[in-house]
Chain A
Amino acid sequence: MIALLLRDLKLAFRAGGGFGLGLAFFLIVTVMVPFSVGPQSELLARIAPGVLWLGALLACLLSLDRLLALDWEDGSLDLLATAPLPLESTVTIKALAHWITTGLPLVMAAPVLGVLLNLPVQGFQWLVISLLLGTPALSVIGTFGAALTVGLKRGGLLMSLLVMPLYVPTLIFGSEVARRGAEGMAVQTPLLLLAGISAASIALLPFASAAVLRVNLR
């Protein structure tokens, strides 16, 4: 399992692995927001938590089609499926690698972009915490979407259509935590629900992902 994780990480970090693309996308989406809604700082401060969450979600979504497609094309996915490691663990590791290479950098970049959007001071802490709790769920749910569409030639758009509705609860609770944090309100309830969604997704969805991957590898 560790070997697989290291392999995926190495492939992602080395040249051509696409590491940093998600981060750059996150940056550019956030920078485009003041251009579209205007530079008033009160308005930006109010929408900053939601915009940062949406940007992180889109950056995550964008990097999903590389998650399994490359291994599918060169046949290493078939090898992984016949390996003694259960497919459930394989997809969990894949999701973990995706989170380390995409989710974690997003979490670390979010406060910097928060400055650009004039996020209130008390909001930074909760923005980071909510992203830290929410992005694993995004990775795991995304792995399910990637597994569903892995065999398709033009799966990218279809995957967005399939994955976006599944992201709705995570997005609602995540940006609710960030918004309440920025406005100085109590965050406990949405925070617990967000953590619950993440924990349940991590625990249950790999089984669904492995099941659809088995169908696709048939």
Chain B
Amino acid sequence: MSIWEYANPKKFLATTEKVMPALWVSSAVLISVGLVWGFFFTPDDYRQGSTVKIIFLHVPSALMAINAWFMMLVTSLVWVIRRHHVSALAARAAAPVGVVMTVIALVTGAIWGQPMWGTWWAWDPRLTSFLVLFLFYLGYIALWEAIDNPDTAADLTSILCLVGSVFAVLSRYAVNFWNQGLHQGASLSLDEKENVADAFSNPLYVCMAGFVLLFIALVFYRTGTEIRARRIKALMARERLEA
């Protein structure tokens, strides 16, 4: 039993189809419980009022925006090294999900920033690096769309993903060079004293777990679609050959 068994598209499809209903249901339950708990059963913050509650969308989507890119990096590496097609297709499937997560994080951040900081947008390091991440996603998806041959596309996009990751990290630290900015630092780490209060952090963890499961479900689903699309293509090519 090893993870490489799932490089076989048939095995991958069979297994994901079995776990998919559980993933959909549990992510839906977790997100709705987390959001309802967060929106209606937490106290208003004494400084931020009820605007603080957008955190339950903002933080999980930001978390997934970064981790989706990280997942694409890992699957691209697997493709480059071991050449498993499922891995390349999973990277392709994850990119649009990552874009949507990035947009959600940027938009909710703007909606939250307007009453709190008095501005929709500021060229703060964290905000800027998210915008750059968004551009990287766009370029990655555009490259996938532009190339016809699937193997060439997988090769080129995976190398772009590797190079892009380095430059994304560089940009992240380069924008730090400006002044500290408005966005607060990390406030959910386990080793820090000053964290978000428990009343907020518990529903937040529920939401984060829900978003993780939702992301996994979406990627499985989209990867399955990609595999089937590729199969249809192969079948049609065979048909044409026989005809």
- Contact surface of A with B, Cβ cutoff 8 Å: 144, 148-149, 151-152, 155, 158, 161-162, 164-166, 168-169, 172-173, 176, 190, 193, 197, 205, 208, 211-212, 215-216, 218
Contact = CB atoms under 8 A, between A and B. Distances in A.
Given A158-B143, A161-B138, A208 B152 contact: no
Instruction: Label chain B's interface by main secondary structure.
Output: helix
Given A215-B152, A218-B152, A162 B143 contact: yes
A6 to B, nearest CB: 30
Interface residues of B, number: 24
B143 A172 contact: no
B174 A165 contact: no
Interface of B: 132, 135-136, 138-139, 142-143, 146-147, 152, 155-156, 159-160, 162-164, 167-168, 170-171, 174-175, 177
A130 to B, nearest CB: 14
A168 B168 CA distance: 9
Given A158-B146, A208-B159, A165 B171 contact: yes
A132 to B, nearest CB: 19
Nearest to A215: B155
B139 A165 contact: yes
Nearest to A214: B155
Given A168-B167, A212-B159, A216-B152, A173 B139 contact: no
Given A148-B160, A172-B177, A212-B159, A165 B132 contact: yes
Contacts of A168: 132, 167, 170-171, 174
Contacts of A205: 163
